[in-house]
Structure formats: structure tokens, C-alpha cells
């Protein structure tokens, strides 16, 4: 997953990263095909040379040898200004338009599970040009209808983001799971399969998705991680906090 996620990031772009897998993917991208990837942390770390996995998106590793150590106001403002191409998000639930839930599972007032809330998720999903969601793929998570719409994807379809006032031309770009890499159909803005990971069938993905995924006639196969990518990942997360 980390490798597939890293490969979605182009060089010479900026990415707003969150805890865990997103940072690892960004660090991997920076150490492989995107050496000039500008990593930005919402708490104010801009362009750090991250030495090892930070525990917090606001800890000292997030501005280690950075070009600038500033404020959340600054980081979020530059996202709002249009400076940040990618936003990396996690999610507890996602629907076919890439809307995501990180707030509650179940009823809002007496939830089955109270999750941490939006955090910087809604901000990244609203302001970055392209959002990339990293999450586990199963029926509990890929749902027909979210329990709570924390962060907007394409809302209810084409044109809806712009109608609500969200910045024009922004929206979900990729969803990376342990089964596949997904994108969004240009016309309908609905989630589609771009590539299946090796050994994963279309049926595997369908049976783990609670909505109708758009499936191409011949889905590609995700390229396997290279030895070098794996080596780098072991360096970046040496105590295996995130990588299994």
C-alpha cells in the first residue's frame, strides 16, 4: 500500500501529509522518484527532511531541517491559496463519490464508536487540488451511505463541490487499499478500479465493497514493490509502527 501510494505523487509538487502511512508514502516518494516533493505538515513544518517516522503530525521530526517552521494558520492558508497539489487522508468509511467519515460510527448522539473527528482531514479534502485516501478495503468501510460526512469527496456527483463553494477543480484523485488502486470517473465522479494488486481478483474487490464500483473491462495489475523501495521502507519505519 505504501509503495502504491508513494507512486501516485509526482515530483516537484507539494503534499499535505497526515500521521502514519501518508508520511511513509511521502518519504518513500521523496527518496525514490520524487526527490523534490515538498512535504508540508498542517502544524507548520514546511519542506522538512524527515529523519524517521514522526509520532505526531506536529512533533519535532515534522520540521527537522525544514525550509520553514511556522504555524497552522500559515500551512492551511497556503493550501487555501492553491499551493498544495496533494492531500493524503485516512478514513474509517468511504462512499462511491469519495466522501469520507472520520467522526462517528453509528448514531451521532450515542455512537457505536466515537472517532477523533475531522482533524485536518476536512481541510485537506476541501483545499488541496487532489486528495489521495489510504485505507483498508472491506464492506464495513466501503459503504453505500456514510454514518457522517466528515470530509467532502465529490458530494453527490459532478458539479456539486463547486455549487457548495468548494474551490473549483479540487477533489478526490486516488484511493489506495490493500486490494487495489482506485480513481474517479471523469464524467460521473464515481469511484472506479485502476489497478488490482497482484493476486487480487475483481471478485475480491467487489465482495469487499458495499457499493457499485465502476470496473474497467481489463483492469491493470499494480506493479509490485521493488527491492529498493522495500529497503527504503524498512529504514523509514524501523520499529514497524505502521508497516506490517
Crossing angle for the helix pair 21-31 and 227-236, nearest 10 degrees?
130
Question: What is the H or E stretch that residue 69 is in?
Answer: strand 68-69
Q: Which is nearer to other proteins, 115 or 175 (CB)?
A: 115
Does the protein bind other proteins through residue 20 (CB under 8 A)?
yes
- For residues 63-78, b (16+ Cβ closer than 10 Å) or e, as one string? beebeebeeeeebbeb
Burial of 13 (0-12, 13-18, 19+ CB in 10 A): middle
Distance CA 244, CA 237 (A): 10
CA distances for 3 relative to 40, 205, 212, angstroms: 19, 19, 26
CB of 161 to other proteins, least distance (A): 7
Interface with other proteins (CB under 8 A), residue from 8, 30, 103, 177: 103
Interface with other proteins (CB under 8 A), residue from 8, 32, 151, 209: 151
Catalytic residues: 42
Let me know: does 15 contact 39? Beta carbons within 8 Å: yes
CB of 146 to other proteins, least distance (A): 8
Region near other proteins per CB under 8 A, out of 4-12, 145-153, 198-206, 223-231: 145-153
How large is the greatest C-alpha to C-alpha distance in the chain, in angstroms? 48
Nearest to 150 by CA among 118, 113, 105: 118
Does the protein bind other proteins through residue 26 (CB under 8 A)?
no
Distance CA 16, CA 76 (A): 9
- Using CB under 8 A as the binding rule, the residues of this chain from 32 to 91 that contact other proteins are 42-45, 51-60, 62-63, 69-73, 76, 79-80
Region near other proteins per CB under 8 A, out of 1-9, 118-126, 175-183, 199-207: 118-126
Does the protein bind other proteins through residue 136 (CB under 8 A)?
no
- Using CB under 8 A as the binding rule, the residues of this chain from 154 to 183 that contact other proteins are 155, 160-161, 164-167
Give the footprint of other proteins on this chain (CB under 8 A): 19-20, 42-45, 51-60, 62-63, 69-73, 76, 79-80, 103, 108, 110-123, 126-127, 148-152, 155, 160-161, 164-167, 238-242
Amino acid at each position: 500500500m505504501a509503495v502504491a501510494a508513494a507512486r501516485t505523487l509526482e515530483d516537484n509538487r507539494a503534499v499535505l501529509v497526515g500521521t502514519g502511512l501518508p508520511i511513509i508514502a511521502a518519504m518513500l516518494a521523496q527518496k525514490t522518484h520524487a526527490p523534490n516533493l515538498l512535504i508540508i505538515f498542517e502544524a507548520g513544518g514546511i519542506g522538512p527532511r524527515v529523519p524517521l517516522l514522526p509520532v505526531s503530525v506536529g512533533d519535532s521530526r515534522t520540521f527537522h531541517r525544514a525550509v520553514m517552521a511556522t504555524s497552522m494558520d500559515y500551512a492551511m492558508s497556503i493550501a487555501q491559496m492553491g499551493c498544495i497539489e496533494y492531500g493524503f487522508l485516512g478514513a474509517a468509511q468511504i462512499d462511491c463519490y469519495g466522501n469520507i467519515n472520520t467522526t462517528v460510527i453509528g448514531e451521532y448522539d450515542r455512537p457505536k464508536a466515537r472517532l477523533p473527528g475531522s482533524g485536518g482531514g476536512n481541510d485537506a479534502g476541501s483545499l488541496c487540488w487532489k486528495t489521495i485516501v489510504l485505507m483498508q478495503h472491506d464492506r464495513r468501510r466501503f459503504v453505500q451511505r456514510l454514518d457522517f460526512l466528515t470530509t467532502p469527496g465529490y458530494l453527490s456527483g459532478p458539479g456539486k463541490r463547486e455549487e457548495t463553494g468548494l474551490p473549483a477543480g479540487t477533489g478526490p484523485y486516488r484511493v489506495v487499499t490493500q486490494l487495489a488502486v482506485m480513481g474517479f470517473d471523469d464524467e460521473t465522479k464515481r469511484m472506479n478500479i485502476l489497478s488490482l494488486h497482484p493476486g487480487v481478483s475483481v471478485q475480491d474487490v467487489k465482495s469487499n465493497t458495499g457499493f457499485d464500483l465502476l470496473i474497467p473491462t481489463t483492469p491493470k495489475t499494480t506493479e509490485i514493490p521493488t527491492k529498493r523501495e522495500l529497503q527504503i521502507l524498512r529504514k523509514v519505519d524501523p520499529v514497524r509502527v505502521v508497516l506490517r
